[in-house]
Amino acid sequence: MISDSTRMLHLLDPVVMAAVVSAGFGILFSVPLRTLVATAMLGAFGILVRLMLIGQGWSIIESTFVAANFVGLFSMILSWRFHSPCVVFSLPAVIPMVPGVFAYKTMMGILEFMRVGSLDQQLMAEIASNGLNTAFLFLCLAVGVSLPNLLLRGKSIRSVFGLYKLPRQKQVKPAPE
Amino acid sequence: MPVVPARDVARLLVDIGVLLQRSGAHTERTIRNLKRFAASFGYEPEIFVAYSGVTITVQDDEHEQSTTLFGRVEHHGVHLATVAAISQLSWQIADEPCSISQVRTEIQRIKALPHFPRWLIIPMIGLGCGALARIAGAEWPVAGITTIAAALALFVRMMLASGGFNALLVVMISAAVASIVGSFASLFGLGPTSGLAVAASVLFLVPGIPLINAVIDMINGYMTTGMGRGAMGISIAFSLAAGMLTGIQIMGVSPL
Protein backbone atom coordinates (compact mmCIF):
# COMPACT_ATOMS: atom_id res chain seq x y z
CA MET A 1 0.00 0.00 0.00
CA ILE A 2 2.84 2.33 0.89
CA SER A 3 5.41 2.29 -1.87
CA ASP A 4 7.55 5.17 -0.73
CA SER A 5 9.92 4.29 2.09
CA THR A 6 10.32 7.89 3.25
CA ARG A 7 6.56 8.07 3.70
CA MET A 8 6.78 4.93 5.78
CA LEU A 9 9.27 6.68 8.03
CA HIS A 10 6.95 9.67 8.25
CA LEU A 11 4.24 7.38 9.52
CA LEU A 12 6.51 5.53 11.92
CA ASP A 13 7.16 8.48 14.23
CA PRO A 14 3.52 9.29 15.11
CA VAL A 15 2.63 5.59 15.32
CA VAL A 16 5.32 4.90 17.92
CA MET A 17 4.32 8.07 19.76
CA ALA A 18 0.68 6.97 19.76
CA ALA A 19 1.67 3.68 21.37
CA VAL A 20 3.46 5.64 24.11
CA VAL A 21 0.40 7.86 24.60
CA SER A 22 -1.96 4.88 24.86
CA ALA A 23 0.30 3.10 27.30
CA GLY A 24 0.64 6.23 29.45
CA PHE A 25 -3.08 6.87 29.60
CA GLY A 26 -3.75 3.19 30.10
CA ILE A 27 -1.61 3.38 33.21
CA LEU A 28 -3.44 6.51 34.36
CA PHE A 29 -6.79 4.72 33.88
CA SER A 30 -5.47 1.60 35.68
CA VAL A 31 -6.05 -0.94 32.92
CA PRO A 32 -5.17 -4.52 33.90
CA LEU A 33 -1.45 -5.12 33.45
CA ARG A 34 -1.91 -8.09 31.15
CA THR A 35 -3.78 -5.98 28.56
CA LEU A 36 -1.42 -2.98 28.57
CA VAL A 37 0.58 -4.01 25.50
CA ALA A 38 -2.57 -4.78 23.52
CA THR A 39 -3.98 -1.36 24.47
CA ALA A 40 -0.82 0.39 23.27
CA MET A 41 -0.86 -1.55 20.00
CA LEU A 42 -4.49 -0.64 19.40
CA GLY A 43 -3.70 3.06 19.93
CA ALA A 44 -0.87 2.83 17.40
CA PHE A 45 -3.16 1.03 14.97
CA GLY A 46 -5.84 3.74 15.27
CA ILE A 47 -3.49 6.56 14.44
CA LEU A 48 -1.97 4.53 11.58
CA VAL A 49 -5.41 4.15 9.99
CA ARG A 50 -6.09 7.83 10.43
CA LEU A 51 -2.79 8.96 8.93
CA MET A 52 -3.12 6.60 5.99
CA LEU A 53 -6.61 7.90 5.24
CA ILE A 54 -5.42 11.50 5.52
CA GLY A 55 -2.66 10.52 3.08
CA GLN A 56 -5.36 9.33 0.68
CA GLY A 57 -6.85 12.82 0.77
CA TRP A 58 -9.66 12.29 3.26
CA SER A 59 -10.61 15.13 5.59
CA ILE A 60 -9.52 14.92 9.21
CA ILE A 61 -13.06 14.33 10.49
CA GLU A 62 -13.82 11.52 8.04
CA SER A 63 -10.53 9.78 8.68
CA THR A 64 -10.89 10.10 12.46
CA PHE A 65 -14.40 8.68 12.25
CA VAL A 66 -13.24 5.64 10.30
CA ALA A 67 -10.17 5.16 12.51
CA ALA A 68 -12.26 5.36 15.70
CA ASN A 69 -14.66 2.79 14.27
CA PHE A 70 -11.75 0.49 13.46
CA VAL A 71 -10.55 0.89 17.05
CA GLY A 72 -14.03 -0.03 18.28
CA LEU A 73 -14.19 -3.13 16.05
CA PHE A 74 -10.74 -4.35 17.02
CA SER A 75 -11.48 -3.72 20.68
CA MET A 76 -14.26 -6.28 20.33
CA ILE A 77 -11.81 -8.87 19.05
CA LEU A 78 -9.30 -8.04 21.78
CA SER A 79 -11.98 -8.17 24.45
CA TRP A 80 -12.90 -11.66 23.26
CA ARG A 81 -9.26 -12.68 23.28
CA PHE A 82 -8.29 -11.19 26.67
CA HIS A 83 -11.62 -11.69 28.49
CA SER A 84 -11.86 -8.01 29.38
CA PRO A 85 -14.48 -5.36 28.56
CA CYS A 86 -14.10 -3.47 25.28
CA VAL A 87 -13.58 -0.10 26.97
CA VAL A 88 -10.34 -1.33 28.53
CA PHE A 89 -8.84 -1.27 25.04
CA SER A 90 -10.80 1.36 23.16
CA LEU A 91 -10.74 4.22 25.67
CA PRO A 92 -6.94 4.60 25.99
CA ALA A 93 -6.60 3.84 22.29
CA VAL A 94 -8.60 6.85 21.10
CA ILE A 95 -6.73 9.27 23.38
CA PRO A 96 -3.96 9.95 20.77
CA MET A 97 -6.68 11.23 18.42
CA VAL A 98 -8.16 13.69 20.93
CA PRO A 99 -8.39 17.12 19.24
CA GLY A 100 -6.26 18.98 21.78
CA VAL A 101 -4.79 21.53 19.41
CA PHE A 102 -8.16 22.44 17.92
CA ALA A 103 -9.58 22.98 21.40
CA TYR A 104 -6.60 25.12 22.34
CA LYS A 105 -6.90 27.23 19.19
CA THR A 106 -10.65 27.69 19.82
CA MET A 107 -10.00 28.92 23.32
CA MET A 108 -7.23 31.25 22.25
CA GLY A 109 -9.44 32.57 19.46
CA ILE A 110 -12.26 33.34 21.90
CA LEU A 111 -9.80 35.09 24.20
CA GLU A 112 -8.48 37.18 21.30
CA PHE A 113 -12.05 37.99 20.27
CA MET A 114 -12.81 39.29 23.75
CA ARG A 115 -9.67 41.41 23.70
CA VAL A 116 -10.24 42.91 20.25
CA GLY A 117 -13.89 43.70 20.99
CA SER A 118 -14.93 44.40 17.40
CA LEU A 119 -16.34 42.24 14.63
CA ASP A 120 -13.32 40.59 13.07
CA GLN A 121 -14.69 38.20 10.47
CA GLN A 122 -11.44 36.33 10.00
CA LEU A 123 -11.26 35.65 13.73
CA MET A 124 -14.94 34.62 13.88
CA ALA A 125 -14.44 32.16 11.04
CA GLU A 126 -11.40 30.66 12.76
CA ILE A 127 -13.24 30.27 16.07
CA ALA A 128 -16.22 28.62 14.37
CA SER A 129 -14.05 26.28 12.31
CA ASN A 130 -11.81 25.21 15.19
CA GLY A 131 -14.74 24.85 17.59
CA LEU A 132 -16.77 22.72 15.19
CA ASN A 133 -13.73 20.56 14.46
CA THR A 134 -13.22 19.99 18.19
CA ALA A 135 -16.86 19.07 18.76
CA PHE A 136 -17.16 16.73 15.79
CA LEU A 137 -13.84 15.00 16.40
CA PHE A 138 -14.89 14.32 19.97
CA LEU A 139 -18.22 12.97 18.78
CA CYS A 140 -16.44 10.71 16.27
CA LEU A 141 -14.28 9.27 19.03
CA ALA A 142 -17.29 8.68 21.27
CA VAL A 143 -19.18 6.90 18.50
CA GLY A 144 -16.13 4.75 17.79
CA VAL A 145 -15.79 3.74 21.42
CA SER A 146 -19.49 2.93 21.73
CA LEU A 147 -19.54 0.98 18.46
CA PRO A 148 -19.37 -2.46 20.19
CA ASN A 149 -22.29 -1.39 22.31
CA LEU A 150 -24.29 -0.31 19.28
CA LEU A 151 -23.52 -3.46 17.29
CA LEU A 152 -24.22 -5.91 20.09
CA ARG A 153 -27.34 -4.06 21.25
CA GLY A 154 -26.46 -4.29 24.92
CA LYS A 155 -25.58 -7.96 24.90
CA SER A 156 -22.11 -8.91 25.93
CA ILE A 157 -19.71 -10.13 23.27
CA ARG A 158 -19.55 -13.51 24.93
CA SER A 159 -23.20 -14.30 24.47
CA VAL A 160 -22.95 -13.52 20.74
CA PHE A 161 -19.71 -15.18 19.70
CA GLY A 162 -18.46 -17.37 22.41
CA LEU A 163 -19.27 -20.60 24.04
CA TYR A 164 -15.88 -20.47 25.64
CA LYS A 165 -15.16 -20.81 29.33
CA LEU A 166 -13.21 -18.28 31.30
CA PRO A 167 -9.71 -19.45 32.20
CA ARG A 168 -9.73 -20.79 35.73
CA GLN A 169 -6.76 -18.78 36.83
CA LYS A 170 -8.10 -18.30 40.31
CA GLN A 171 -10.73 -20.14 42.28
CA VAL A 172 -13.12 -18.10 44.40
CA LYS A 173 -11.76 -18.54 47.88
CA PRO A 174 -14.09 -19.25 50.80
CA ALA A 175 -14.59 -16.48 53.28
CA PRO A 176 -12.15 -16.39 56.19
CA GLU A 177 -15.03 -16.73 58.68
CA MET B 1 -36.16 -21.46 44.40
CA PRO B 2 -34.14 -18.50 45.69
CA VAL B 3 -32.42 -19.55 48.90
CA VAL B 4 -30.54 -16.32 49.56
CA PRO B 5 -32.63 -13.63 51.27
CA ALA B 6 -33.61 -10.75 49.00
CA ARG B 7 -32.07 -8.27 51.41
CA ASP B 8 -28.60 -9.83 51.18
CA VAL B 9 -28.74 -9.89 47.39
CA ALA B 10 -29.86 -6.27 47.27
CA ARG B 11 -27.03 -5.21 49.55
CA LEU B 12 -24.48 -7.04 47.40
CA LEU B 13 -25.90 -5.56 44.19
CA VAL B 14 -25.81 -2.01 45.56
CA ASP B 15 -22.20 -2.54 46.55
CA ILE B 16 -21.27 -3.77 43.08
CA GLY B 17 -23.27 -1.06 41.32
CA VAL B 18 -21.62 1.73 43.28
CA LEU B 19 -18.20 0.20 42.67
CA LEU B 20 -18.82 0.02 38.93
CA GLN B 21 -20.15 3.57 38.64
CA ARG B 22 -17.22 4.80 40.71
CA SER B 23 -14.72 3.09 38.39
CA GLY B 24 -16.00 4.67 35.20
CA ALA B 25 -18.26 1.97 33.76
CA HIS B 26 -21.10 3.22 31.58
CA THR B 27 -24.64 2.68 32.79
CA GLU B 28 -25.52 -0.04 30.32
CA ARG B 29 -22.57 -2.11 31.52
CA THR B 30 -23.45 -1.55 35.19
CA ILE B 31 -27.02 -2.72 34.67
CA ARG B 32 -25.99 -5.69 32.55
CA ASN B 33 -23.48 -6.87 35.15
CA LEU B 34 -25.89 -6.40 38.04
CA LYS B 35 -28.59 -8.41 36.26
CA ARG B 36 -26.10 -11.21 35.64
CA PHE B 37 -25.13 -11.31 39.33
CA ALA B 38 -28.77 -11.29 40.40
CA ALA B 39 -29.69 -14.04 37.95
CA SER B 40 -27.14 -16.39 39.43
CA PHE B 41 -28.98 -16.07 42.76
CA GLY B 42 -32.35 -16.50 41.04
CA TYR B 43 -33.60 -12.92 41.26
CA GLU B 44 -34.62 -10.33 38.73
CA PRO B 45 -33.85 -6.85 40.07
CA GLU B 46 -35.23 -3.44 39.13
CA ILE B 47 -32.38 -0.97 38.80
CA PHE B 48 -32.27 2.80 38.58
CA VAL B 49 -28.89 4.41 38.06
CA ALA B 50 -28.52 8.15 38.58
CA TYR B 51 -25.40 10.26 38.50
CA SER B 52 -25.13 10.43 42.28
CA GLY B 53 -26.32 6.97 43.26
CA VAL B 54 -27.74 3.55 42.46
CA THR B 55 -31.20 2.35 43.56
CA ILE B 56 -32.02 -1.36 43.41
CA THR B 57 -35.22 -3.22 44.21
CA VAL B 58 -35.06 -6.99 44.66
CA GLN B 59 -38.35 -8.90 44.94
CA ASP B 60 -38.81 -12.32 46.39
CA ASP B 61 -42.25 -13.50 45.22
CA GLU B 62 -42.19 -16.75 47.19
CA HIS B 63 -41.78 -15.16 50.59
CA GLU B 64 -43.50 -11.95 49.52
CA GLN B 65 -40.51 -9.89 50.52
CA SER B 66 -39.05 -6.99 48.66
CA THR B 67 -36.07 -4.80 49.45
CA THR B 68 -35.11 -1.45 48.01
CA LEU B 69 -31.69 -0.07 48.76
CA PHE B 70 -29.86 3.04 47.67
CA GLY B 71 -26.09 3.40 47.41
CA ARG B 72 -24.37 6.72 46.94
CA VAL B 73 -21.63 7.17 44.35
CA GLU B 74 -19.28 9.56 46.08
CA HIS B 75 -16.73 10.30 43.43
CA HIS B 76 -16.38 9.39 39.78
CA GLY B 77 -12.90 8.15 39.09
CA VAL B 78 -11.50 5.80 36.49
CA HIS B 79 -10.24 2.32 37.32
CA LEU B 80 -10.67 0.02 34.34
CA ALA B 81 -9.09 -2.98 36.07
CA THR B 82 -12.00 -2.98 38.53
CA VAL B 83 -14.51 -2.94 35.68
CA ALA B 84 -12.72 -5.84 34.01
CA ALA B 85 -12.48 -7.84 37.23
CA ILE B 86 -16.18 -7.45 38.07
CA SER B 87 -17.19 -8.45 34.56
CA GLN B 88 -15.00 -11.52 34.82
CA LEU B 89 -16.39 -12.43 38.25
CA SER B 90 -19.95 -12.10 36.98
CA TRP B 91 -19.24 -14.64 34.22
CA GLN B 92 -17.45 -16.91 36.64
CA ILE B 93 -20.41 -17.18 38.99
CA ALA B 94 -22.82 -17.47 36.08
CA ASP B 95 -20.92 -20.60 35.02
CA GLU B 96 -20.72 -22.16 38.44
CA PRO B 97 -22.85 -20.54 41.13
CA CYS B 98 -21.24 -20.09 44.52
CA SER B 99 -22.38 -18.77 47.87
CA ILE B 100 -23.05 -15.10 48.48
CA SER B 101 -20.33 -14.82 51.12
CA GLN B 102 -17.76 -16.00 48.59
CA VAL B 103 -18.93 -13.38 46.12
CA ARG B 104 -18.75 -10.75 48.84
CA THR B 105 -15.16 -11.71 49.64
CA GLU B 106 -14.24 -11.44 45.98
CA ILE B 107 -15.88 -8.01 45.76
CA GLN B 108 -13.89 -6.87 48.78
CA ARG B 109 -10.74 -8.04 47.03
CA ILE B 110 -11.68 -6.19 43.82
CA LYS B 111 -12.50 -3.05 45.81
CA ALA B 112 -8.96 -3.06 47.17
CA LEU B 113 -7.32 -3.31 43.73
CA PRO B 114 -4.57 -0.67 43.70
CA HIS B 115 -3.84 1.97 41.10
CA PHE B 116 -0.48 1.81 39.42
CA PRO B 117 2.28 3.25 41.65
CA ARG B 118 2.91 6.99 41.41
CA TRP B 119 6.52 6.67 40.32
CA LEU B 120 5.21 4.87 37.22
CA ILE B 121 2.13 7.00 36.47
CA ILE B 122 3.90 10.37 36.62
CA PRO B 123 6.72 9.68 34.12
CA MET B 124 4.41 7.71 31.83
CA ILE B 125 1.88 10.54 31.65
CA GLY B 126 4.74 12.97 31.09
CA LEU B 127 5.98 10.87 28.19
CA GLY B 128 2.41 10.46 26.93
CA CYS B 129 1.81 14.20 26.78
CA GLY B 130 5.20 14.73 25.17
CA ALA B 131 4.24 12.16 22.57
CA LEU B 132 0.92 13.94 22.01
CA ALA B 133 2.82 17.15 21.33
CA ARG B 134 5.02 15.22 18.92
CA ILE B 135 1.96 13.83 17.13
CA ALA B 136 0.63 17.38 16.79
CA GLY B 137 3.90 18.28 15.06
CA ALA B 138 6.17 19.71 17.77
CA GLU B 139 9.95 19.68 17.62
CA TRP B 140 11.81 17.37 20.02
CA PRO B 141 12.88 20.11 22.54
CA VAL B 142 9.25 21.32 22.74
CA ALA B 143 8.11 17.76 23.36
CA GLY B 144 10.71 17.54 26.14
CA ILE B 145 9.35 20.67 27.86
CA THR B 146 5.84 19.25 27.48
CA THR B 147 6.97 16.07 29.23
CA ILE B 148 8.32 17.99 32.20
CA ALA B 149 5.28 20.27 32.38
CA ALA B 150 2.79 17.40 32.31
CA ALA B 151 4.68 15.35 34.89
CA LEU B 152 4.91 18.31 37.27
CA ALA B 153 1.23 19.17 36.81
CA LEU B 154 0.20 15.57 37.46
CA PHE B 155 2.30 15.57 40.62
CA VAL B 156 0.57 18.77 41.77
CA ARG B 157 -2.82 17.27 40.92
CA MET B 158 -2.14 14.13 42.95
CA MET B 159 -0.93 16.20 45.92
CA LEU B 160 -4.00 18.44 45.84
CA ALA B 161 -6.42 15.57 45.26
CA SER B 162 -5.10 13.73 48.31
CA GLY B 163 -5.55 16.97 50.26
CA GLY B 164 -9.29 16.76 49.61
CA PHE B 165 -9.79 19.90 47.54
CA ASN B 166 -12.72 20.45 45.20
CA ALA B 167 -12.16 18.47 41.99
CA LEU B 168 -12.69 21.48 39.72
CA LEU B 169 -10.25 23.59 41.72
CA VAL B 170 -7.66 20.81 41.51
CA VAL B 171 -8.01 20.69 37.72
CA MET B 172 -7.74 24.47 37.47
CA ILE B 173 -4.59 24.72 39.57
CA SER B 174 -2.82 21.86 37.83
CA ALA B 175 -3.73 23.29 34.41
CA ALA B 176 -2.20 26.58 35.54
CA VAL B 177 0.96 24.78 36.64
CA ALA B 178 1.17 22.89 33.35
CA SER B 179 0.83 26.02 31.24
CA ILE B 180 3.28 28.00 33.40
CA VAL B 181 5.93 25.32 32.92
CA GLY B 182 4.93 24.82 29.28
CA SER B 183 5.34 28.54 28.53
CA PHE B 184 9.07 28.19 29.07
CA ALA B 185 9.18 26.68 25.59
CA SER B 186 8.16 30.06 24.18
CA LEU B 187 10.43 31.98 26.56
CA PHE B 188 13.42 29.89 25.53
CA GLY B 189 12.52 30.57 21.89
CA LEU B 190 12.23 26.98 20.79
CA GLY B 191 10.81 27.78 17.38
CA PRO B 192 7.35 28.20 15.83
CA THR B 193 5.86 25.07 17.44
CA SER B 194 6.62 26.14 21.02
CA GLY B 195 2.96 27.01 21.67
CA LEU B 196 2.21 23.31 21.48
CA ALA B 197 3.97 22.78 24.80
CA VAL B 198 1.14 24.62 26.59
CA ALA B 199 -1.57 22.98 24.48
CA ALA B 200 -0.34 19.41 24.90
CA SER B 201 0.82 19.44 28.52
CA VAL B 202 -2.75 19.88 29.84
CA LEU B 203 -4.21 17.08 27.73
CA PHE B 204 -4.10 14.53 30.55
CA LEU B 205 -6.64 16.72 32.38
CA VAL B 206 -9.15 16.60 29.51
CA PRO B 207 -12.28 14.84 30.84
CA GLY B 208 -12.28 12.24 28.07
CA ILE B 209 -13.88 9.41 30.01
CA PRO B 210 -16.81 11.41 31.48
CA LEU B 211 -17.60 12.90 28.07
CA ILE B 212 -17.35 9.62 26.16
CA ASN B 213 -19.41 7.86 28.84
CA ALA B 214 -21.97 10.66 28.60
CA VAL B 215 -22.37 10.04 24.87
CA ILE B 216 -22.58 6.26 25.36
CA ASP B 217 -25.21 6.66 28.11
CA MET B 218 -27.31 8.97 25.97
CA ILE B 219 -27.07 6.61 22.99
CA ASN B 220 -28.41 3.84 25.22
CA GLY B 221 -31.20 6.05 26.56
CA TYR B 222 -29.95 6.64 30.12
CA MET B 223 -30.52 10.37 29.98
CA THR B 224 -30.07 11.19 33.68
CA THR B 225 -26.58 9.72 33.95
CA GLY B 226 -25.69 10.95 30.47
CA MET B 227 -26.62 14.54 31.30
CA GLY B 228 -24.90 14.36 34.67
CA ARG B 229 -21.68 13.04 33.24
CA GLY B 230 -21.79 15.49 30.34
CA ALA B 231 -22.31 18.42 32.69
CA MET B 232 -19.45 17.24 34.89
CA GLY B 233 -17.19 16.84 31.84
CA ILE B 234 -18.02 20.31 30.55
CA SER B 235 -17.39 21.85 33.98
CA ILE B 236 -14.00 20.17 34.13
CA ALA B 237 -13.22 21.41 30.61
CA PHE B 238 -14.12 24.97 31.60
CA SER B 239 -12.01 24.93 34.73
CA LEU B 240 -9.19 23.49 32.63
CA ALA B 241 -9.53 26.45 30.26
CA ALA B 242 -9.61 28.88 33.18
CA GLY B 243 -6.44 27.37 34.62
CA MET B 244 -4.66 27.56 31.28
CA LEU B 245 -5.64 31.20 30.82
CA THR B 246 -4.34 32.00 34.30
CA GLY B 247 -1.02 30.36 33.54
CA ILE B 248 -0.66 32.06 30.16
CA GLN B 249 -1.52 35.47 31.62
CA ILE B 250 1.02 35.02 34.40
CA MET B 251 3.79 34.13 31.97
CA GLY B 252 2.67 36.64 29.34
CA VAL B 253 3.35 34.44 26.34
CA SER B 254 1.49 35.02 23.10
CA PRO B 255 -0.96 32.31 22.01
CA LEU B 256 -0.20 29.78 19.30
Taking only the tens place, the pLDDT of each residue in A140-176 is: 988 888 888 778 765 665 655 554 444 444 444 444 4
pTM: 0.85
Contacts 24+ apart (CB under 8 A), A156-164: A156/B32, A156/B87, A157/A76, A157/A79, A157/A80, A157/A86, A158/A80, A158/B91, A161/A80, A162/A80
What average pLDDT does this structure show over B186-195? 81
pLDDT, residue B18, reads 94
**CA of B83: which chain A residue's CA is closest?**
A85
pLDDT in tens, B216-227: 888 888 999 999
pLDDT at A4 over 70: no
pLDDT in tens, B6-30: 888 899 999 999 999 999 888 988 9
pLDDT at B186 over 90: no
Instruction: Specify if A56 maps to a domain.
Output: yes
pLDDT, residue A171, reads 45
Specify the amino acid at residue B246: T
What average pLDDT does this structure show over A117-141? 89
Instruction: Specify if A148 maps to a domain.
Output: yes
Describe the crossing of helices B27-40 and B6-22 by its angle, rounded to 10 degrees.
150
Instruction: Specify if A129 maps to a domain.
Output: no
pLDDT, residue A163, reads 44
Q: How confident is the model at residue A40 (pLDDT cuts 50, 70, 90)?
A: very high
Q: How confident is the model at residue B231 (pLDDT cuts 50, 70, 90)?
A: very high
What average pLDDT does this structure show over B82-95? 87
Chain B: closest CA distance from residue A128 (Å): 17
How many other C-beta atoms lie within 10 A of the C-beta of residue B246? 17
Average pLDDT in chain A: 82
**Complex prediction ipTM:** 0.86
Nearest of A154, A84, A145 to residue B81 by alpha carbon: A84
Q: How confident is the model at residue A177 (pLDDT cuts 50, 70, 90)?
A: very low
Distance CA B146, CA B182 (A): 6
Report chain A residues whose CB lies below 8 A from the CB of B124: 23-24, 27-28
Tell whether B241 lies on the interface with A, counting CB pairs under 8 A. Answer: yes
Q: How confident is the model at residue A59 (pLDDT cuts 50, 70, 90)?
A: very high
pLDDT at A29 over 60: yes
Q: Could you tell me how far CA B230 lies from the centroid of its own chain?
A: 13
Tell whether B104 lies on the interface with A, counting CB pairs under 8 A. Answer: yes
**CA of A147: which chain B residue's CA is closest?**
B216
Average pLDDT in chain B: 88
Number of domains composing chain A: 1
Tell whether B158 lies on the interface with A, counting CB pairs under 8 A. Answer: no
Tell whether B187 lies on the interface with A, counting CB pairs under 8 A. Answer: no
pLDDT in tens, B25-64: 889 889 989 998 888 888 889 999 999 999 999 988 777 7
pLDDT, residue B196, reads 85
Tell whether B245 lies on the interface with A, counting CB pairs under 8 A. Answer: yes
Instruction: Specify if A137 maps to a domain.
Output: no
Instruction: Specify if A123 maps to a domain.
Output: no
Instruction: Specify if A14 maps to a domain.
Output: yes
Instruction: Specify if A70 maps to a domain.
Output: yes
Q: How confident is the model at residue B228 (pLDDT cuts 50, 70, 90)?
A: very high
What average pLDDT does this structure show over B64-82? 88
User: Of A1-10, A13-22, A166-175, B127-136, which gets the smallest average pLDDT?
Assistant: A166-175
pLDDT, residue A93, reads 92
Tell whether B229 lies on the interface with A, counting CB pairs under 8 A. Answer: no
pLDDT, residue B97, reads 75
Distance CA B185, CA B133 (A): 12
For B98, left (φ over 0), alpha (ψ -120 to 50), or beta? Answer: beta
Backbone angles phi, psi at B53, to 5 degrees: 180, 170
Chains A & B: contacts with CB separation below 8 Å: 173
Question: Domain range for residue A157?
Answer: 5-97+142-161
Interchain contact, B84 vs A85, CB within 8 Å: yes
Instruction: Specify if A117 maps to a domain.
Output: no
Residue A9 or A2, more confident = A9
